[in-house]
């Protein structure tokens, strides 16, 4: 199959973006697909969940790859900085050095498409490449938008999380027009959902009404659960931590939607 590159993006933190990226990647791997996760967030949260206790101490990371790509270095892309997680996926670590990359990109020719060149070379080795974005609209995120085929926008079921959604949509539209004609929004994923509260239900209804006919609001809603934080602390996916729990079941359903619609 042709590799699909999917970015998980939100300019607001605390919306389970990284959790969703990691668990979607591992869920796809559990279905038998070859999966690479790329951590583009300087916080390195995805890298930490995938088993690296101190991302900032890692020698070869995505920041190293950016440096090599900027300098047109000759290196083995298929192996360089590629780590393997015991749950079945490969990943490129991210850490605080990406903050320096963001600054250095300002003066680089073709700065928006550095990551695109790298990921295009990696497509032949994987069925899916999942990219976890930083919670901002800086040059790293612009690089991601130029490189991916589709984006998934996680949001919590709260009115505050909906702020900034339109700006993000407009940014995606500008990148599609100027740099990446095949870029599209696959849908909005509602996370940390309280199914028993009217507030959550009202927010979902508002989303569905606002984006009807424009952008899919995925049918799967990821429920709020302390188990997600516990799994991250244990450096495990929700599938490994609580395979029969409601969150694992929800991410399994969501992976099914990804396979069907993305």
CATH number for the domain harbouring residue 9: 3.40.50.300
Judged by DSSP in three states, 11 sits in coil
Distances (CA, A) of 179 to 77, 151, 168, 169, 175: 23, 15, 16, 15, 5
β-strand 90-92 against 35-39: which pairing, if any? parallel
Q: Where does the pLDDT of residue 53 fall: very low under 50, low under 70, confident under 90, or very high at 90 and above?
A: confident
Contact 172, 211 (CB under 8 A): no
Q: Where does the pLDDT of residue 194 fall: very low under 50, low under 70, confident under 90, or very high at 90 and above?
A: confident
Enter the tokens of residue 14: 């605390």
Enter the tokens of residue 76: 């083995």
CA nearest to 206, candidates 238, 243, 160: 160
List the domain range (segments joined by +) for residue 18. 4-261
Domain count, the chain: 1
Contact 35, 90 (CB under 8 A): yes
Indicate the average pLDDT of the chain. Answer: 94
pLDDT of residue 105: 95
Q: What are the backbone angles phi and psi of residue 221, rounded to the nearest 5°? A: -115, 130
Total-model pTM: 0.96
pLDDT of residue 46: 97
Q: What CA–CA distance (Å, rounded) separates 245 from 30? A: 16
Contacts of 178 (CB under 8 A, 6+ apart): none
Q: What CA–CA distance (Å, rounded) separates 197 from 195? A: 6
pLDDT of residue 175: 96
Residue range 71-115, pLDDT digits in tens = 999 999 999 999 999 999 999 999 999 999 999 999 999 999 999
Q: What CA–CA distance (Å, rounded) separates 144 from 131? A: 7
Q: What are the backbone angles phi and psi of residue 7, rounded to the nearest 5°? A: -105, 135
């Amino acid at each position: 199959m042709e590799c699909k590159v999917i970015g998980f993006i939100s300019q607001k933190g605390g919306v389970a973006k990284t959790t969703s990226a990691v668990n979607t990647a591992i869920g796809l791997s559990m279905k038998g697909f070859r999966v690479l996760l790329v951590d583009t967030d300087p916080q390195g949260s995805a890298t930490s969940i995938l088993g690296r206790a101190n991302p900032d101490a890692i020698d070869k990371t995505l920041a190293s790859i950016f440096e090599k790509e900027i300098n047109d270095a000759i290196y083995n892309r298929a192996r360089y900085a590629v780590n393997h997680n015991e749950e079945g996926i490969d990943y490129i670590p991210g850490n605080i050095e990406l903050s320096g990359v963001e600054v250095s990109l300002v003066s680089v020719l073709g700065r928006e498409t550095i990551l695109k060149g790298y990921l295009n070379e990696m497509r032949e080795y994987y069925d899916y490449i999942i990219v976890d974005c930083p919670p901002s609209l800086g040059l790293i995120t612009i690089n991601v938008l130029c490189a991916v085929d589709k984006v998934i926008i996680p949001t919590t079921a709260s009115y505050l999380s909906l702020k900034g959604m339109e700006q993000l949509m407009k940014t995606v539209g500008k990148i599609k027009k100027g740099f990446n004609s095949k870029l599209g929004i696959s849908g909005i994923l509602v996370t940390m959902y309280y199914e028993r509260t009217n507030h959550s239900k009202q927010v979902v209804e508002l989303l569905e009404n606002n984006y009807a006919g424009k952008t899919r609001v995925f049918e799967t809603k990821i429920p709020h659960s302390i188990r997600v934080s516990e799994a991250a602390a244990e450096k495990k996916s929700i599938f490994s931590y609580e395979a029969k729990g409601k969150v694992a079941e929800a991410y399994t359903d969501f992976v099914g939607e990804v396979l069907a619609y993305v």
